[in-house]
């Protein structure tokens, strides 16, 4: 199967240093909804792995997070596509969980769900932790320059990281090649 895994904040929607705390603050980046829909219609399964420490920090609750993801699913469905499994880490940085990126726990959950190996699977993110999580399980780290991506690009990236302007460019590459 053709599986693509996406980070959420800074890849699908605008990110904020103040966290994305409500559905109203969850605003898709230009072309991201269309990109997910086009990938889906081209036979790709698009899953999401997102750190959501705002839950642990008390900035928003699970119901609000679920409402953001319902909105994402509705917008993609309006374009004829669908969103696959969404996995989030609700923990804080000091809780020592196995799912918070750069740990690859969420990627492993997604791979287990779809019964596919993670080797070579593209994981698209805007933060170094996204790329490190991919590298940890031999997935393909893919950096987009949206969200924190331009800042991340200035750091030492995992060897072999692919770089694209945005999710739309990633989708065009996957669909056309």
Ligand X SMILES: O=P(O)(O)OC[C@@H](O)[C@H]1O[C@@H](OP(=O)(O)O)[C@@H](O)[C@@H](O)[C@@H]1O
Show the binding pattern over residues 108-137: x = contacts Mg ion (CB under 5 A), - = does not.
------------------xx----------
Can you read off the two tokens belonging to residue 107?
A: 């990627």
Buried b (16+ CB within 10 A) or exposed e, 82-103: ebbbbbbbbbeeeeeeebbbbb
Stretch that binds ligand X, among 44-52, 74-82, 106-114, 169-177 (CB under 6 A): 44-52
**Of positions 3, 4, 5, 9, contacts ligand X by CB under 6 A:** 9
Instruction: For 96, list phi and psi in degrees, rounded to 5.
Output: 65, 30
State the nearest-atom distance from the C-beta of 173 to ligand X, in Å.
21
Least distance to ligand X, CB of residue 40, Å: 19
Among 3, 15, 39, 164, binds ligand X (CB under 6 A): 15
Of the two residues 10 and 81, which places its CB atom closer to ligand X in the complex? Answer: 10
Helices (H), 28-97: 32-41, 53-56, 62-78
Task: Report the distance separating Cα 15 and Cα 13, nearest Å.
Answer: 6
Contacting positions for Zn ion (CB under 5 A) = 89, 91, 97, 99-100
166 contributes a contact to Mg ion by CB under 5 A: no
Q: Are 85 and 107 in contact (CB under 8 A)?
A: no
Neighbouring residues of 52: CB distance < 8 A, sequence distance ≥ 6: 65, 88, 89, 90
* Smallest distance, ligand X to C-beta of residue 120, A: 21
Is 66 labeled as catalytic in the residue annotation? no
Q: Supply the residues annotated as catalytic.
A: 7, 9
């Amino acid at each position: 199967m053709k599986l693509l895994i996406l980070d959420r904040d800074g890849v699908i929607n605008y990110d904020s240093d103040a966290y994305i705390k409500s559905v109203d603050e969850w605003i898709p980046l230009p072309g991201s909804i269309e990109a997910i829909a086009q990938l889906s219609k081209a036979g790709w399964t698009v899953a999401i792995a997102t750190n959501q420490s705002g839950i642990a920090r008390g900035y928003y609750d699970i119901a609000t997070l679920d409402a953001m993801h319902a909105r994402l699913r509705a917008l993609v469905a309006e374009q004829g596509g669908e969103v696959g499994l969404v996995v989030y880490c609700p923990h804080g940085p000091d809780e020592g969980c196995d799912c918070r990126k750069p740990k690859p726990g969420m990627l492993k959950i997604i791979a287990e769900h779809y019964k596919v190996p993670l080797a070579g699977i593209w994981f698209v993110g805007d933060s170094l932790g996204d790329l490190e999580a991919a590298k940890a399980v031999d997935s393909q780290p893919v950096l987009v320059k949206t969200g924190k991506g331009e800042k991340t690009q200035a750091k030492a990236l995992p060897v072999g990281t692919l770089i694209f302007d945005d999710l739309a460019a990633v989708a065009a590459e996957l669909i056309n090649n």
